[in-house]
Amino acid sequence: MSEAEADEGPAVPGAGGAERTRRDEPDEHEGQAARMRRPRIAAAVAAAVLFAGLGAVIAVTTPWNPLPGPVPGGHAEPDPALDFSPAEIARSQAFDSAINPPAYAGLVVGLALILALGLTPVGARFIGWVTARTRRWALRVVIGALALTTLLRVAGLPFRIWRESVLRRYGLSTQSWPEWLVDQLKSLGVTWVIYAVALLLLYAVVRRFPRYWWTGAAAGGFLLVVLVSFIYPIAVEPVFNRFHSLRQEPLRSDLLAMAERDGVPVTDVLVADASRRTTSLNAYVSGFGSTRRIVLYDTLLKSPPERIESIVGHELGHAKRNDVLWGTLVGALGVAGAMCLLHLLMTSPRLLRRAGIDPAGPPGTRPGARGTGAADPRSIALVLALVTAGTQLSGPVMNLVSRHIEARADVHALNLTRDPATFVSMQHELSVRNISDLNPDALESLLWLSHPPGPGRIAMARDWARRNGVPEPPPLR
């Protein structure tokens, strides 16, 4: 007998067993529902505690006022017209109008597709169809994950092509179409690995602990987020970029000396070959512990050294505050709470039936047998739909928090360099080169904005100058 037959086959205790199973099935399934009541209550309590803890951590640790205290003369108001020419403002508005349609259309179509697959029997039927030739649950999970993520990626491809066309039209993309396609395939491959591993672990826990699987899923989800964040710089980033140590002198020595003066242990500054795909400017810090790294786009190296120092000062602010580790732990705590909530949803008979999954399995199946209900690999579409919905709902909150953390890093750069004039000129260069939205509306801020807009960062630098008795940078126009 195969593993699937042992897990999912009907219980036949003897002659007439099938008839007795059908006759007793309602009582047995009612008993199973009663046995699930206590685990569901426990999962609900755990979810409430974890989300309350997460909310408290965010409320207490987020720098809601990155530049505390009074500002002589009052806070400066962000005004693009002070520092950006009419042509620069017009180009930003035109680019925003061109890039928003593919962004919004891709978001709506992607959400509609995954929700339609997960909250109707279509997704279960699709998974059942692509896994029809195998009966081993692990292989069914892997095949189902690969097929579903590929379907979603293909559905979003027209909008990615549309977006890439806009980037090319505005000179932000330097890739050929074959190079762009290779990057898309690499991204899909990374998605396959992450989803296949995560779903394999989830379904293994669900099958092993059918009543209290939320405990293992919450702990495993927490650890997996931490692990992925730790290894991301050395396992994923090299898939898309080549890195080398910054060799330019005296810039390299100046940056390392600045890090030492700041008390941030940095043994190297890396440069990414971003110019082979974009003209935009960027720098970032990723990883933590032994995998922490500060990375500059090679496009940034053409800027004046003092501007690069301003950018690196911002990244040192992230490193000194351990923002990557903080974000990882907050994300891991959120995933742990989400796994408890997922248990509540995935053990709801009504929701499972809506998704085309029989909570009790085929007639004659033992109540609670492995491979039934939430453990059925055909429920992958429902899992991804719920995860996507949760991610989308939490996104605006995380963007809000991120904007305040980025503002704190800006203040750190100003404290370190004490050069607000260079900071303002750097923010102007970043906004112009990246064609940033200078005046995003509320919806754009909710959905996409993880950094303060350029005019807001410039206004904050002027506030810092007045607070610290440093000459206030004049308008750039």
Report whether 314 belongs to an annotated binding site: yes
- C-alpha to C-alpha distance for 312 and 319, rounded to whole angstroms: 10
Q: 3-state class of 438 per DSSP?
A: coil
Tokens encoding 124: 């279960």
Q: 3-state class of 284 per DSSP?
A: strand
Query: What does DSSP assign to residue 170?
Result: T
* Sequence-distant (≥ 6) Cβ neighbours of residue 388 within 8 angstroms: 110, 111, 114, 115
Residue where the block lists tokens 């998704």:
355
Domain range list for the chain: 3-241+321-467, 243-320
- C-alpha to C-alpha distance for 140 and 132, rounded to whole angstroms: 8
- The residues that bridge with 121 in the sheet, in sequence order, are none
- C-alpha to C-alpha distance for 372 and 60, rounded to whole angstroms: 42
Q: 3-state class of 295 per DSSP?
A: strand
**Amino acid identity at 322:** N
Residue 273 designated active-site = no
pLDDT at 372: 77
Tokens encoding 86: 């009419």
Three-state secondary structure along 334-401? HHHHHHHHHHHHHCCHHHHHHCCCCCCCCCCECCCCCCCHHHCHHHHHHHHHHHHHHHHHHHHHHHHH
On whether the CB atoms of residues 168 and 102 are closer than 8 A, the answer is no
Tokens encoding 25: 């099935």
Burial 202-223 (b: 16+ CB within 10 A, else e): bbbbbbeebbebbbbbbebbbe
Question: What DSSP string describes 141-158?
Answer: HHHHHHHHHHHHHHHHHH
* Sequence-distant (≥ 6) Cβ neighbours of residue 181 within 8 angstroms: none
Q: Which of 8, 410, 437, 463 is catalytic?
A: 410
Report whether 318 belongs to an annotated binding site: yes
Q: 3-state class of 417 per DSSP?
A: helix
Give, for all 477 residues of the chain, the pLDDT tens digit: 333 333 333 333 333 443 444 444 455 555 556 677 899 999 999 999 999 999 999 999 999 999 998 999 999 999 999 999 999 999 999 999 999 999 999 999 999 999 999 999 999 999 999 999 998 999 999 999 999 999 999 999 999 999 999 999 999 999 999 999 999 999 999 999 999 999 999 999 999 999 999 999 999 999 999 999 999 999 999 999 999 999 989 999 999 999 999 999 888 899 999 999 999 999 999 999 889 999 999 999 999 999 999 999 999 999 999 999 999 999 999 999 999 999 999 999 999 999 999 887 655 455 455 667 899 999 999 999 999 999 999 999 999 999 999 999 999 999 999 999 999 999 999 999 999 999 999 999 999 999 999 999 999 999 999 999 999 999 998
The CATH number of domain 243-320, selected from 3.10.50.30, 3.40.640.10, 3.30.2010.10, 3.60.21.10: 3.30.2010.10
Residue where the block lists tokens 């950094």:
451
Q: Which of 96, 309, 315, 419 is catalytic?
A: 315
Report whether 244 belongs to an annotated binding site: no
Residue 164 designated active-site = no
